[in-house]
Amino acid sequence: MVDEQKTTEEIIFEAALSVFQRKGLAGARMQEIADEAGINKSMLHYYFRSKELLFKQVFIKSFKNFSASTIPIMNLELSWEEKIPLLVTHYLKAMQTRPDLPMFVINEMRYNPEDFLSNVSGNKIKDTVFFAQLWDGINKGTIRPIKPIQIVVSIISETVFPVIAKPMIQHMTKLQDTNWEEFIADREKVIPEMLIKYLKEF
């Protein structure tokens, strides 16, 4: 593989990604981004003009990254029962590598609503094979007749929420760090079991 040299712009963008995802728009400091990139603060403005523009690009990239990652899985050539555990595992693994990403996206989206994303096509979860499979089963009477969107939201909720709310849950339940891994491992089994059972037996 070629040892491609990262351009200054790329270095800045990655540093911005890291700092914005960790601290949010209001909490992030241009100086901190410059420090993390190892360059002068003027460079940020030279390449991205303003904090707002830089944030906008970081935010759009983050949103796409989070929301688009599941589509390929939903379009695999597998049954819907096989896809549910895959999706659960995918989200739990994604949480492990980038725990700040979903929190960042959700959080900033309360303030920068459609504005920043007006040009970002809402990627069509509804047009995936997974969705079609669920509708098909419902029409054939083999799946409980509830809207498929409920299932998708449940999968995301059950996997993403516990990780972003980890400190709160730990404080509320006194769950130690050592037991946390076990707790997550359990969830990886429990969530698909529960969802599939609910959809198939009614």
Nearer to DNA, 55 or 91 (CB): 55
**How many CB atoms within 10 Å of residue 159?**
23
Question: Does residue number 41 form part of the binding site for DNA (CB under 7 A)?
Answer: yes
* Residues 2-31, mask of contacts with a copy of itself (x by CB under 8 A): ---------------------xxxxx----
Q: Convert 77-93 into a string of H (helix), E (strand) and C (coil).
A: CCCHHHHHHHHHHHHHH
Nearer to a copy of itself, 136 or 186 (CB): 186
Under DSSP, the state recorded for 126 is: G
Residue carrying the six token digits 């595992």: 89
Sole binder of DNA in the list 6, 29, 93, 197 (CB under 7 A): 29
Nearer to DNA, 7 or 176 (CB): 7
Nearer to a copy of itself, 10 or 193 (CB): 193
* Contacted by 105, from DNA, a copy of itself, none: CB < 5 to 8 Å by type: a copy of itself
Phi, psi of 148 (to 5 degrees): -55, -30
Question: Does residue number 164 form part of the binding site for a copy of itself (CB under 8 A)?
Answer: yes
Q: Which of the stretches 37-45, 80-88, 90-98, 114-122 binds DNA when contact is defined by CB under 7 A?
A: 37-45
Under DSSP, the state recorded for 127 is: G
Question: Does residue number 46 form part of the binding site for DNA (CB under 7 A)?
Answer: yes
Phi, psi of 38 (to 5 degrees): 75, 30
Can you tell me the distance from the alpha carbon of 15 to that of 38, in angstroms, rounded to the nearest whole number? 9
Nearer to DNA, 3 or 77 (CB): 3
Q: Are 51 and 30 spatial neighbours (Cβ–Cβ below 8 Å)? A: yes
Q: Which of the stretches 48-56, 81-89, 109-117, 171-179 binds DNA when contact is defined by CB under 7 A?
A: 48-56
Sole binder of DNA in the list 18, 22, 43, 138 (CB under 7 A): 43
Instruction: Taking the CA atoms of 28, 29, 33 and 35 in sequence, report the sign of the dihedral they define.
Output: negative
